[in-house]
């Protein structure tokens, strides 16, 4: 039996493709793609990458089918397709981040981060984004203070208590809110808060519009994470006589904390770059204005929007640097939230 197994193993190994062979097939497929683009009207970097990926996958799959058989060929095709989809998904993100960093790095200095646009003309190389950073952080913080607690309460009710018509109605309303365009949220706050109540333009008005956009994302992500908590944990807690509200507070939410944090950060990343609500209800201010409850206030999305549409190359350069600043703020907030969640998880252990 042992000898037979060894013979079958050697037989199978002799019919498997080695890494050098697969590497040579990939190189040959890429070379064929170069030749194809040289003798045909095909051109363009994006077209070449897609064509090369397809030819490489087809070549490796065909070679596997001829040498290793149908099962390994199907397995390698599925693996190659998954990797290809991953690469094609990450390429636009990588190009976007790389080009933004390339264009914005020249203006991304300490002076740019610590000065405002007060008294700076379109032909001046001075000026910075400090006032817009303050406005964006305050507006997103106020929006999160409104949306995150309310969203968690709604998610808890829907998952733990809302097995009735009222819970179904809430789910339907959240689904509707998920598809609301950002400009509609801005128009609602403009009509209700700014015009009807005569509150005027302010950073808080922008926070209300951002909270409307952030709320359904928080609810949906928190709802899914709470549903993933094993029912055995709840049942064990109930068996020990722990009330339901304390079970949710001490067992369910800490277990789902990592996923909830990720959902909250996705919601923050979704609203921190919104321009339409800010343009409609916040206004603009080139001076440092730290009170979000009174008067127009600057923000990074509006700063980028106005700078990108300017005829001055200096404004365009400042807009790229502001876009890079916005990306870095999102990265810092996400990393800080994950580190905080991880530390709390280790502390509970």
Give the model confidence (pLDDT) of 192-242 as tens digits: 999 999 999 999 999 999 999 999 999 999 999 999 999 899 899 999 999
Continuous segment of H or E residues that includes residue 124: none
CA 219 – CA 216 distance, rounded (Å) = 5
Structure tokens at 132: 């817009």
Instruction: For the domain made up of 130-348, give the CATH fold.
Output: MetI-like fold (1.10.3720)
- The pTM score is 0.81
Question: Please, what is the average pLDDT of the chain?
Answer: 87
CA–CA gap between residue 185 and residue 212 (Å, rounded): 7
DSSP β-bridge partners for residue 295: 202
Q: pLDDT by residue (tens digit) across 68-126?
A: 888 888 888 888 888 888 887 888 888 899 999 999 998 899 999 999 998 887 778 88
* Distance of alpha carbon 32 from alpha carbon 159, whole angstroms: 55
Q: Is the pLDDT of residue 348 over 80?
A: no
pLDDT in tens, 146-170: 999 999 999 999 998 888 898 889 9
- Mean pLDDT calculated for residue range 169-183: 90
pLDDT digits (tens, 9 = 90+) for 254-290: 889 888 988 898 899 889 989 999 999 998 888 999 9
Separation CA 59–CA 73 (nearest Å): 11
Share of the chain above pLDDT 90, in %: 44
User: Residue 202 gets which letter from DSSP?
Assistant: B
More confident residue, 314 or 122: 314
Q: What's the rounded mean pLDDT across residues 243-258?
A: 90
Q: Which residue did the predictor score with more confidence, 92 or 6?
A: 92
- Contact status, residue 217 vs residue 146, Cβ threshold 8 Å: no
pLDDT at 347: 56
pLDDT of residue 104: 92
Rounded Cα distance, 190 and 179, in Å: 19
Q: Per-residue pLDDT for 5 more than 90?
A: no
Query: Residue 313 pLDDT > 80, yes or no?
Result: yes
Question: What ranges do the domains of the chain cover?
Answer: 2-104, 130-348
Token pair listed for 56: 């490489």
Q: What is the pLDDT of residue 12?
A: 43
Query: How far, in Å, CA of 35 to CA of 25, rounded?
Result: 15
Tell me which of 69 and 326 has the higher pLDDT.
326
How many C-beta neighbours within 10 Å does residue 152 have?
Answer: 19
Of residues 218 and 346, which shows the higher confidence score? 218
Q: Supply the pLDDT for residue 212.
A: 94
Phi, psi of 202 (to 5 degrees): -165, 165
């Amino acid at each position: 039996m042992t000898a037979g197994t060894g013979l079958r193993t050697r037989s199978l190994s002799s019919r498997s493709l080695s890494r050098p062979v697969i590497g040579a097939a990939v190189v040959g497929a890429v070379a064929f793609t170069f030749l194809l683009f040289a003798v045909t009207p095909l051109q363009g970097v994006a077209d070449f990458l897609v064509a090369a990926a397809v030819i490489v996958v087809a070549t490796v799959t065909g070679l596997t089918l001829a040498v290793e058989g149908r099962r390994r060929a199907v397995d390698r095709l599925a693996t190659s397709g998954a990797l290809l989809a991953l690469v094609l998904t990450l390429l636009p993100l990588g190009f976007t981040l790389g080009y933004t960093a390339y264009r914005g790095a020249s203006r991304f200095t300490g002076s740019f981060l610590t000065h405002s646009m007060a008294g700076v003309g379109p032909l001046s190389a001075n000026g910075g984004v400090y006032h817009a950073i303050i406005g964006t952080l305050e507006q997103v913080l106020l929006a999160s203070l409104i949306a995150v607690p309310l969203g968690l309460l709604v998610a808890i009710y829907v998952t733990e208590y809302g097995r009735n018509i009222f819970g179904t109605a809430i789910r339907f309303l959240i689904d509707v809110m998920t598809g609301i365009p950002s400009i509609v949220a801005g128009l609602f706050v403009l009509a209700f808060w700014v015009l009807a109540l005569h509150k005027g333009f302010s950073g808080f008005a922008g926070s209300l519009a951002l909270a409307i956009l952030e709320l359904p994302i928080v609810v949906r992500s928190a709802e899914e994470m709470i549903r993933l908590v094993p029912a055995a944990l709840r049942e064990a807690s109930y068996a020990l006589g722990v009330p339901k509200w304390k079970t949710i507070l001490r067992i369910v939410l800490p277990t789902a904390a990592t996923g909830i944090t990720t959902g909250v950060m996705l919601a923050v990343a979704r609203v921190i770059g919104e321009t339409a609500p800010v343009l409609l209800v916040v206004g603009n201010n080139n001076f440092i204005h730290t009170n979000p409850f009174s008067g127009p206030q600057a923000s990074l999305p509006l700063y980028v929007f106005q700078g990108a549409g300017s005829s001055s190359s200096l404004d365009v350069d400042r807009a790229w640097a502001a876009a890079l600043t916005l990306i870095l703020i999102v990265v810092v907030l996400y990393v800080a939230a994950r580190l905080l969640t991880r530390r709390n998880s280790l502390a509970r252990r």
